[in-house]
Amino acid sequence: MGRQHRMQMPPAPELIAKNPKRSYVSKLFALQRSTCFRPVPSGCIRARVLGLILTALLPAVGIFHAREAAAGVSLYDQLATPARPFYLKLRTHRGPLPMGGVRGTLWIDGQKIGNVLTGADGYGYFKYVARGNGSFTLKVQTEAGDAQARLRIVAPAAPVVLFEAEALLWHMLVREQRAAAANALRQVAANFELAYLCGPMGRPAAQQLIEDRGLPARVVLAGKSRARFEQLSERGVFIFAVVGSAEFVAAGRDLSQRRFIFDPGAPGRHQAQWDDLLEQLNQKDEAP
């Protein structure tokens, strides 16, 4: 008969507890091994597996209940032109879940413009037509809470420069580029209409970045896909230039006159440079 190989048993929990030099994490792993390798009656295996699953889910359940109690409302920034109808947009939610059937009242600069009711997905829309140019404060009051947003109405001929918020964030993380980026944005805002488009980082985080870094306060539009560029174009917004990543620029390729990419591999005159960005925007030649 061949030699029988016996599985080496991990130390028992009582022995683990007596060794104060072991870290807390290593004790947990050792305790888990000792529990898993000890002989267990077959009838208890399912119960033990179920217990492990429930233990793993407890933190998620706790987070879910914490978020569930937090009802709220989000109101979205808007960019449009006069005399063209567009929709103001809001969302009511309870934590991460939509909260439908919520009534709200919309205001622009303190003047009531109408009421809205959110659908089953939590979103509510209000059709609006602006009469003139300017910057306005949107406000909504609902049973789930209140929220504010920016509304910017620009002339159809006003050149608008769109910046990708995520690309801006990465450059703000580089200390050597912070001052140049902030100065370039101030110059652009003084000579063009300026707006930010954000994706995964979210509008609240983008707004916080803009505020913390002292950047020009402008509308922050949620979404930077092709659909967003098409929506702005349908609203009569003159997209003069887009500045950001290659993917961002590609999304608005044929809807903007100029495109500048934060990518060393981009063609020389189309590679965004903070120090010369205003000069690049004022060049007469058109980006291909």
pLDDT in tens, 89-111: 999 999 889 999 999 999 999 99
What's the total number of domains in the chain? 3
Mean pLDDT, to the nearest integer, of 247-265?
A: 86
Report the SS3 class of residue 39.
Answer: coil
CATH for 221: 3.40.50.1000
CATH for 90: 2.60.40.10
pLDDT value for 85: 97
Residue 1: pLDDT over 70: no
Whether residues 246 and 178 share a domain: the answer is yes
Of 201, 206, 236, 238, nearest in space to 219 by CA: 206
- Asked whether residue 2 is domain-assigned, the answer is no
pLDDT value for 53: 53
CA distance to 132, 228, 265, per residue, from 81 (Å): 8, 15, 36
Parent domain of 33: 23-68
What's the gap between Cα 255 and its chain centre? Answer: 23
Q: What is the pTM of this model?
A: 0.73
Whether residues 136 and 166 share a domain: the answer is no
What's the gap between Cα 166 and its chain centre? Answer: 9
Residue 278: pLDDT over 70: yes
**How many degrees, rounded to 5, is the angle at CA 159 between CA 153 and CA 165?**
80
Quickly state the pLDDT bin for 242 (edges 50, 70, 90).
Answer: very high
Whether residues 180 and 256 share a domain: the answer is yes
Mean pLDDT, to the nearest integer, of 7-36?
A: 44
pLDDT in tens, 39-73: 445 444 554 544 455 445 444 444 444 344 478 99
CA distance to 71, 99, 167, 190, 206, per residue, from 200 (Å): 22, 22, 12, 28, 10
pLDDT value for 207: 94
